[in-house]
Structure 1
Amino acid sequence: MFLNDQETATDLLYYEAIAKTVVKLIGKTPETPITIGVHGDWGAGKSSVLKMLEASLNGNERTLCLWFNGWTFEGFEDAKTVVIETIVDELRRARPTSTKVADAAKKVLKRVDWLKLARKTGGFALTAFTGIPTLDQLKGAYEFASGFLNKPQESVSAEDIKSFAEKAGDFLKEADDSSDHLPEHIHAFRVEFKALLDAADVDKLVVIVDDLDRCLPKTAIATLEAIRLFLFVERTAFVIGADEMMIEYAVREHFPDLPQSVGPVSYARNYLEKLIQVPFRIPALGVAETRVYVTLLLAENALGATDARFENLLAEARKDMQRPWKSRGLERRTVEEAMGGTVPPEVDQALVISAHVTKILSEGTRGNPRQIKRFLNSLMLRHAIADERGFGADIQRPILAKIMLAERFYPDFYEQIARLAAGHPDGKPEAIRQFEAHIRAEAKVEQAGDEEATVNKARKVIQAIAPEVTEWEKHQWAKDWAAIEPALAGVDLRPYVFVTRDKRSSLGGSVVVSHLEELVEKLMGPLIMVRAASGELGRLTGAEPEEVFEAIRSRILQEDSFARKPKGIDGLVRLVEVHPQLQRRLLDFVRELPTNKIRAWAASSWTTCFKDAFVTEFQGVLKGWAEQGENTTLQAAAQGILKLHGQG
């Protein structure tokens, strides 16, 4: 009943191809140090690719593969030293009986102690530019600790400082003059670590770093800085799974004094590109791929991953996805052949659902596998609840899926459907019947051409149009929804409304908590209310900023008139100011705005939230508005903004 949201054990998206490519790349650079990025949005499948990569490397005795999850060490005193210590400890565990490995590991760990000692003083924070503390820093730390023993502060105990002074004193006795310079420190670390690899007798050390984009900026940067120490160590490879936008945001937050970029690439992006030599980006799923994915998810859930019929279906899906641009999704004939001629009812229902909800689901989730999986989980959970309550037989999954599409992507439309169903004695709103009939009639007219008889016949389908239908016809999303199967005419919608109204949320069908709903309402309010919500915006984590963004975006786009600045624009701007990783989504939203309806506010509302390369892209949008002629008010405003910034 439940689709696991962890790294998938079954490759339903044919991501194995990416993992195999990374393995080949590592194999072709045996001596050269390399850093590879596996990029993608939240929920795109980065962790699954990394797990496949790890599985591919585990059979090679000459390659040691280590896994490091940055999020696991969130809140640790110094993530940088944790990364290095973890790598050294794993090397020791891989060669537990080797004296050479033990001795070499001690040397590396001793140098790592420098980082810890410097950090304990509180005054020698390591940055991207210092890397390892100098001898002068440690001398100062030693004098500080020794002279401070009689006056312990609240944050540092006397025992801690005494231990620190003893360790620092022992180190200073052994230090030579050459170690007073930063280049020598870095060089010594790399030499010592290379000696450790020699002692371990491995051809390649591969370190997989996952969930870096979930970390706070401080932890993310510390992890990247630790990786930077290995960039020139032979026979090492780092594979980093992260969303580039989140890492760029971490760089900007950690180094707030970086100057504004004057070129097409921001300093934050430069930092990332210098660290990651080979980037792989996981593409979003297209419509056909989404259809295949939905079918496979539901079929696996019904049959089990080890069922021979599902294995056959998965093999056919992989053939189909080899050339996704030619794919039409898994058609019934293909599924029948994979199932040995007989399609089980659960799989047949999966085919119906995937065939009809795919287009809207793909567009609404932007082809994100995790969002698709969450939608299906909610679908199956609600059906299961209906079963437990005793009305499961009254619920058909394809109809439930159609209702949930409205709930997830057009909540105001869903609320109207729910109200009409609740108010009808049989739960069969006439407005829904009329709307679907009208949309299907229009489709027939378009298919048949402009023949007068066909047009007249189509117009007679509806005699008296309900006022809701007139409103719904203004929105393309609602029209697309009405056109998909199954038709809801004659269906008692009350059980579907009951099972989907486990909450009423402005965030649609996503799993959210009440504080996000309240936050969306504040961001849809006046500017003073938006400003008051800034503190709450700063506390959003993980996928929460994206969920709030999508909720506000969908409500704005449902407006009929854009002559005045819609409610929510100020909230959207403030959200992106606090969470700059949303700039790409904001730029896409600005491009979605109907050019013929918007006014001067659309040109002047975004100047504070676009930074670096996005400024140039937004100016491209302004130039398009400035050159068009159908909306002269917008044209003049765009020309004025460009002139103000010297682009006119």
Structure 2
Amino acid sequence: MFLNDQETATDLLYYEAIAKTVVKLIRKTPESPVTIGVHGDWGAGKSSVLKMLEGAFAKDDRVLCLWFNGWTFEGFEDAKTVVIETIVDELRRARPNSTKVADAAKKVLKRVDWLKLARKAGGFAFTATTGILTLDQVKGLYDMATAFIAKPQDHVSKDDVMELAGKAGDFLKEAPRDTDNLPEHIHAFRKEFEELLDAADIDQLVVIVDDLDRCLPKTAIATLEAIRLFLFVDRTAFVIGADELMIEYAVREHFPDLPPSSGPVSYARNYLEKLIQVPFRIPALGLAETRVYITLLMAENALGSTDPGFLALLEAAREDMKRPWKSRGLDRKTVETALKGTVPPDVDQALVISAHVTKILSEGTRGNPRQIKRFLNSMMLRHAIADERGFGAEVQRPVLAKIMLAERFYPDFYEQLARLAANAPDGKPDALARFEAAVREPALQADEDDKPAARGSRKATRPAPAPLPAEADEWMKNEWAKTWAAIDPALADHDLRPYVFVTRDKRSSLGGLVAASHLEDLVDKLMGPTLMVRGASDQVGKLTGPEPEEVFEAIRGRVLQEDSFTSKPKGIDGLIKVVELHPALQRRLLDFLRELPVPKIGAWAVSSWGTCFPDAAVSGEFQTLVQGWAEQTDNATLQATAKAVSQFRRN
């Protein structure tokens, strides 16, 4: 019934081309080490590409392909050694009967153990010949000493003393005599790791690193540095699936003292390019690709992935997507040809839905496959709920999809529709009918005007249209709402109450698509007083993937539901906190400020934003917005405050 959100075994997006290109690059450089980045937004399909890559090497005995999920090891104190140990253990498991591999792996792991011991002892082994204590060494000694003497005197026993002495003795015994400093140790480790590859008798080691962009900055950087410092030797290839913007953010967070830029490229970008040599960017879906994807998802769901008809449709889609700029998006003619003239009802409905929702869904999700899939899952779930409750026949999927578009991408508009539908006796709001007519009739009138008048007759003069209801008049000022109203099906003749009921099954401030209890709780905290917002800082800082954007949009939606903005609404401090800890959202914050109704804004809107706009370009746009407030005449209080702030900045 529903669409699996895991890496798909069926390539609906023709990502096989990307995977094949990466495989060719790896095979053409068997001797030299290489790091390849498969980049894309959260949900863009990186893991699916990596799974295809893994499958391409599955039958090659001379290439050993290992999978490492960085997110699995989030929270480990020393991520570098965890990465190394995991890869060495995977090598050993891949050659379980080889004594040579076992001995070489043991040698490498022994050196890793020494690295951990040296770290615990403050790095003594790295500078034993210098006789100079570093700050880290002093801290290591201090931690060991305070841990020992923290016990009350009467509890210090002979066993305690022996334990401390034993740890020190183990450290001295395990420390390799031929490496007294860090560079020599790294060199020796790399040599022993190459010997392990020789023992495994392989031409290449390919390590796939997935979900790195879900890790906290410390773990992400430690994983990349472990690869580059210790494992980057001949005959190795590392393929790293991550959103490069998230990794750049991790670099900035991990190295906060880096200057902002080095010429036209930031230091964070330079660092990333040093660690990842060859980047592949998975492109966002365009309009035609989105339409193809929606049709294939729903067709696969209806027919099954092994159905001959679906396989024929998939083959037609792949042929169509070879040249996306020429794609017709799996139109009805292409589908009928692929299915030999017989289109099942579910596939026919998939064509209708994809034709109707593609444009807004493509723009709203920015061509993100996972967000598209979640939208369709939510739609099918709600239709299933309607079936179970006994009113499934009253809910048409194309109408439901259109209502959900409003719910997902314009929550305030949806809330108005829901309220009007609930209050209308037949569930058909007059304001919506008038709004749709106002949007659609100009096109119909233009068609009529193009028709020639009958010989000897004159075209009738149309009366001036009646004034629109207040809600419809406000909607006419919004381009998104007008675009939404123009798409089929028109809703004027539909009782919207069943749709409102089934879409309001979860009164979630996160729009009902990606809500999670921990995010709901966090949103509630960020809507609270300043002290509560400050207390939620750690939770906000740990948000990953799309979560910061979801939380931001949830708070934004609640704030915009307020009737008055004269004083600072609840939630503004929360928005500020989210943007401060996730600067990628600063332009979203600027868009939010532009949405505020100028006649109703108080002076707080001019000066509340502190360090929310670190990006010079966005900061400049904010100053332009403030200048616009200073020049408007609808709000004297806002005008005076904006003028004062602008004057202060000029001075």
Question: What interval of TM-score do these two structures reach, taking the shorter chain for normalisation?
Answer: 0.7 to 0.9
For 2:363 and 2:463, how far apart are their aligned partners in 1?
Answer: 31
Q: Is the contact between residue 57 and residue 63 of structure 1 (CA under 8 Å) also seen in structure 2?
A: yes
CA offset at residue 558 of structure 1? 9.3
Match of 1:24 in 2: 24
For 2:114 and 2:278, how far apart are their aligned partners in 1?
Answer: 31
Q: Is the contact between residue 428 and residue 492 of structure 1 (CA under 8 Å) also seen in structure 2?
A: yes
Q: Report the residue type matching 2:294 in the other structure.
A: V
Q: Report the residue type matching 1:31 in the other structure.
A: E
For 2:442 and 2:451, how far apart are their aligned partners in 1?
Answer: 13
| Pairing of 1:518-557 with structure 2 (within 5 A) | 520=523, 534=537, 536-552=539-555
CA offset at residue 10 of structure 1? 0.8
Match of 2:477 among 463, 474, 489: 474
Question: What are the superposed Cα offsets for residues 191-250 of structure 1, whole Å, 9 maximum, x if unpaired?
Answer: 111111122121111111111111122222221121122465111111111112222222
* Deviates further, 211-220 or 554-563: 554-563
Match of 1:170 among 170, 173, 183: 173
Q: Report the residue type matching 2:244 in the other structure.
A: E
Q: 1:110 to 1:396 in 2, by over 3 A?
A: same
For 2:551 and 2:16, how far apart are their aligned partners in 1?
Answer: 33
For 2:552 and 2:147, how far apart are their aligned partners in 1?
Answer: 52
| Pairing of 1:110-509 with structure 2 (within 5 A) | 110-121=110-121, 123-124=122-123, 133-135=126-128, 161=164, 164-172=167-175, 174-176=176-178, 179-230=179-230, 232-261=232-261, 263-445=263-445, 463=466, 465-509=468-512
Q: 1:621 to 1:262 in 2, by over 3 A?
A: farther
Matching of residue 10 in structure 1 with residue 10 in structure 2: yes
For 1:433 and 1:495, how far apart are their aligned partners in 2?
Answer: 17
For 1:267 and 1:375, how far apart are their aligned partners in 2?
Answer: 38
For 2:261 and 2:376, how far apart are their aligned partners in 1?
Answer: 43
Matching of residue 580 in structure 1 with residue 596 in structure 2: no
Which secondary structure does the structure 2 equivalent of 1:111 belong to? helix
Q: 1:166 to 1:459 in 2, by over 3 A?
A: farther
Question: What are the superposed Cα offsets for residues 337-357 of structure 1, whole Å, 9 maximum, x if unpaired?
Answer: 111211111111111111001
Q: Is the contact between residue 190 and residue 231 of structure 2 (CA under 8 Å) also seen in structure 1?
A: no
Q: Report the residue type matching 1:579 in the other structure.
A: H
Q: Is the contact between residue 603 and residue 637 of structure 1 (CA under 8 Å) also seen in structure 2?
A: no
For 2:198 and 2:607, how far apart are their aligned partners in 1?
Answer: 61
For 1:641 and 1:238, how far apart are their aligned partners in 2?
Answer: 53
CA offset at residue 527 of structure 1? 7.1
For 1:626 and 1:511, how far apart are their aligned partners in 2?
Answer: 34
For 1:514 and 1:39, how far apart are their aligned partners in 2?
Answer: 29
Question: What are the superposed Cα offsets for residues 480-532 of structure 1, whole Å, 9 maximum, x if unpaired?
Answer: 11111111122111111111111223332323146645655775788787657
Q: Is the contact between residue 412 and residue 560 of structure 2 (CA under 8 Å) also seen in structure 1?
A: no
For 1:59 and 1:170, how far apart are their aligned partners in 2?
Answer: 44
Question: What are the superposed Cα offsets for residues 261-298 of structure 1, whole Å, 9 maximum, x if unpaired?
Answer: 46443332222121111111111111221111111111
Q: 1:499 to 1:186 in 2, by over 3 A?
A: same
Q: Is the contact between residue 120 and residue 140 of structure 2 (CA under 8 Å) also seen in structure 1?
A: no
For 1:560 and 1:139, how far apart are their aligned partners in 2?
Answer: 59
Which secondary structure does the structure 1 equivalent of 2:174 belong to? helix
Q: 1:350 to 1:259 in 2, by over 3 A?
A: same
CA offset at residue 90 of structure 1? 1.9
Q: Is the contact between residue 145 and residue 162 of structure 1 (CA under 8 Å) also seen in structure 2?
A: no
For 1:630 and 1:149, how far apart are their aligned partners in 2?
Answer: 61
Q: Report the residue type matching 1:62 in the other structure.
A: R
CA offset at residue 570 of structure 1? 5.5
Question: What are the superposed Cα offsets for residues 27-60 of structure 1, whole Å, 9 maximum, x if unpaired?
Answer: 1211111111111111111111111111112222
Q: Is the contact between residue 552 and residue 572 of structure 1 (CA under 8 Å) also seen in structure 2?
A: yes
Match of 2:635 in 1: none
* Deviates further, 422-431 or 595-604: 595-604
Q: Is the contact between residue 506 and residue 512 of structure 2 (CA under 8 Å) also seen in structure 1?
A: no
Question: What are the superposed Cα offsets for residues 67-93 of structure 1, whole Å, 9 maximum, x if unpaired?
Answer: 000111122342211211121122222
For 1:320 and 1:333, how far apart are their aligned partners in 2?
Answer: 13
Q: Is the contact between residue 37 and residue 242 of structure 1 (CA under 8 Å) also seen in structure 2?
A: yes
CA offset at residue 569 of structure 1? 6.1
- The alignment covers a number of residue pairs equal to 629
CA offset at residue 16 of structure 1? 1.1
Q: Report the residue type matching 1:273 in the other structure.
A: E
Q: Is the contact between residue 33 and residue 231 of structure 1 (CA under 8 Å) also seen in structure 2?
A: no
Q: Report the residue type matching 1:313 in the other structure.
A: L
Question: What are the superposed Cα offsets for residues 291-341 of structure 1, whole Å, 9 maximum, x if unpaired?
Answer: 111111111111111111111111111112112222231100111111121
For 2:324 and 2:143, how far apart are their aligned partners in 1?
Answer: 64
Q: 1:385 to 1:171 in 2, by over 3 A?
A: same
Question: What are the superposed Cα offsets for residues 363-383 of structure 1, whole Å, 9 maximum, x if unpaired?
Answer: 111111111111111111111
Q: 1:456 to 1:16 in 2, by over 3 A?
A: farther
* Deviates further, 429-438 or 135-144: 135-144
Q: Is the contact between residue 216 and residue 542 of structure 2 (CA under 8 Å) also seen in structure 1?
A: no
For 2:573 and 2:295, how far apart are their aligned partners in 1?
Answer: 40
Normalised to the residue count of structure 1, the TM-score between the two structures is 0.85
For 2:450 and 2:528, how far apart are their aligned partners in 1?
Answer: 47
Q: Report the residue type matching 2:437 in the other structure.
A: A
For 1:144 and 1:211, how far apart are their aligned partners in 2?
Answer: 36
Q: Report the residue type matching 2:470 in the other structure.
A: P
CA offset at residue 106 of structure 1? 2.0
Q: Is the contact between residue 217 and residue 251 of structure 1 (CA under 8 Å) also seen in structure 2?
A: yes
Match of 1:127 in 2: none
Q: 1:321 to 1:211 in 2, by over 3 A?
A: same
Question: What are the superposed Cα offsets for residues 418-475 of structure 1, whole Å, 9 maximum, x if unpaired?
Answer: 2222222222222222221221102334566799999987767x65633322222122
* Deviates further, 221-230 or 39-48: 221-230
For 1:94 and 1:514, how far apart are their aligned partners in 2?
Answer: 40
Q: 1:384 to 1:151 in 2, by over 3 A?
A: same
Which secondary structure does the structure 1 equivalent of 2:241 belong to? strand
For 2:236 and 2:2, how far apart are their aligned partners in 1?
Answer: 39
For 2:387 and 2:223, how far apart are their aligned partners in 1?
Answer: 48
CA offset at residue 635 of structure 1? 12
Percent identity for Structure 1 against Structure 2:
71
Question: What are the superposed Cα offsets for residues 568-607 of structure 1, whole Å, 9 maximum, x if unpaired?
Answer: 6664343111123435655777899999999999997766
Q: Is the contact between residue 230 and residue 236 of structure 1 (CA under 8 Å) also seen in structure 2?
A: no
Identify unmatched segments of 5+ residues in structure 1: 125-129
For 1:426 and 1:297, how far apart are their aligned partners in 2?
Answer: 35
Match of 1:608 in 2: 611
For 2:500 and 2:485, how far apart are their aligned partners in 1?
Answer: 17
Q: Report the residue type matching 1:509 in the other structure.
A: G
Q: 1:558 to 1:327 in 2, by over 3 A?
A: farther
Question: What are the superposed Cα offsets for residues 390-427 of structure 1, whole Å, 9 maximum, x if unpaired?
Answer: 11111111111111111111122212222222222222
* Deviates further, 237-246 or 257-266: 257-266
Which secondary structure does the structure 2 equivalent of 1:234 belong to? coil
Question: What are the superposed Cα offsets for residues 94-133 of structure 1, whole Å, 9 maximum, x if unpaired?
Answer: 2233332222222211111122213444x45xxxxx9x94
Q: Report the residue type matching 1:278 in the other structure.
A: V
Q: 1:599 to 1:477 in 2, by over 3 A?
A: farther
Q: Is the contact between residue 441 and residue 458 of structure 1 (CA under 8 Å) also seen in structure 2?
A: no
Q: 1:73 to 1:142 in 2, by over 3 A?
A: closer
